[in-house]
Amino acid sequence: MKPYIYTISALLLFVSCYNKTSNIITNTIDDKHYLEDITKSWQAIYLDDTSLDAIVGEITKVLYDDGLYFISHKPNPDNSDIVISVYNENGKFMRKISHIGRANNEYLFLKEWDLNTSNNEVLLYDGHTSRLLRYSYMNEFIGSYQLDSSFEQMSYLYTLSDNTFFIQMKILSEGINDLFLYNTNGNSKSLFQNKNIKTDGFMFIPMKTYFSHSNNMNYFSRYFDNNIYSIDSMGNIDHYLKLDFIPTYKKRDLRLISLEDDMRPQSYIANIYNFNKFILIDCREDKLLIDKRDKTITIYKRNMFVGKEIPLNQHIICSYNNYIVGFLNNIDAQNYQELINENTPKEVIEFYKKAAENENATLVLYEIGK
């Protein structure tokens, strides 16, 4: 595989809510590194399997705060109901947050959720009533916010502060605002308009924004957009950098995955993970590690953790502090055991064995920073 050249350049933005940047950094990077080369340590959290309530179904989202892992999942694959199960740092099951019903402290359809870490609150968005319900980490109902009915099309919710939220809408028409700042006073501010992507006879509408939380600064990127933006707790947006891919995506780079996934180029921003000193950009074929101090980049192979010295994992779901969090179920672990050879470290062999025996999912934490 030949080396790629990634160019970080300024983007002049003619939208009033953005500030401009002017620095330009260009790097040529080889592609012979693995992310595990900079993994300082790893640890496994075997989720509690001592009761049926503790068992998770299909995992949809994982968030961490204050020593707790909040895991949303579908207990029943035959319906769309989602519950949130809470575990401590040792994997012990603590409680479920699930309140389906028509009462004031209940919801009809949990469409999206997030944590307000400054107040230790879980925020649940009811897609049927357009309410944002607030529960404590102890599962106590606190209150709710009534959002405008137009937010029924919400697909992603991110908390910026106690009263400010970043909302992605699922909009199927071009030229309609689909990213908003919303505060609890009922005020909303549009950030972007949806725009059709046209390439070599294909046309589709991107409907996803990749967002990564941090205590001081958050970063996001639009689907099919090489630009990365920063946004603070007050909702102030800056253009952070632009990645110019070489080679750029062409028709032969596009794959029709499914109607749900739309069209995906092989090299494009597909997720963002924010750490204390670095930003990790998942570009599908490659992973880019950006040093926040000088914006230099190192490129890594597509598979984040190839399992040479640490456990293989292809289900990376979130990041916090200096950790990337992945998960695997016992079927995954059984399959990974087939990859064991004479060079596999003893602790990795023991991990696969224990994870395969566990009746629940296993979280794997990878500390970035070697």
Chain mean pLDDT for the chain = 77
What is the reported pLDDT for 2?
Answer: 36
In which band, very low, low, confident or very high, does the pLDDT at 302 lie, cut at 50, 70 and 90? low
Q: pLDDT above 90 covers what percent of the chain?
A: 35
What is the reported pLDDT for 178?
Answer: 65
What is the reported pLDDT for 305?
Answer: 60
pLDDT value at 323 more than 60? yes
Structure confidence by residue, pLDDT tens digits, 217-252: 888 887 667 788 888 888 888 888 887 653 333 333
Residues 340, 312: contact at Cβ < 8 Å?
A: no
pLDDT value at 22 more than 50? no
pLDDT value at 5 more than 60? no
Q: Is the peptide bond before 311 cis (omega within 30 degrees of 0)?
A: no
The closest alpha carbon to 265, from 322, 206, 309, belongs to 206
The residue with greater pLDDT, 1 or 105, is: 105
pLDDT value at 11 more than 80? no
Residues β-bridged to residue 317: none
What is the reported pLDDT for 304?
Answer: 59
Q: pLDDT above 70 covers what percent of the chain?
A: 72
What is the reported pLDDT for 27?
Answer: 45
What is the reported pLDDT for 208?
Answer: 58
The residue with greater pLDDT, 49 or 193, is: 49
pLDDT value at 28 more than 80? no
What is the reported pLDDT for 162?
Answer: 87
Distance between CA atoms of residues 72 and 81, nearest Å:
10
Distance between CA atoms of residues 273 and 276, nearest Å:
10
> pTM for the whole thing?
0.82
Q: Which domains does the chain have, with CATH numbers?
A: 4-30+56-302 (2.120.10)
In which band, very low, low, confident or very high, does the pLDDT at 115 lie, cut at 50, 70 and 90? very high
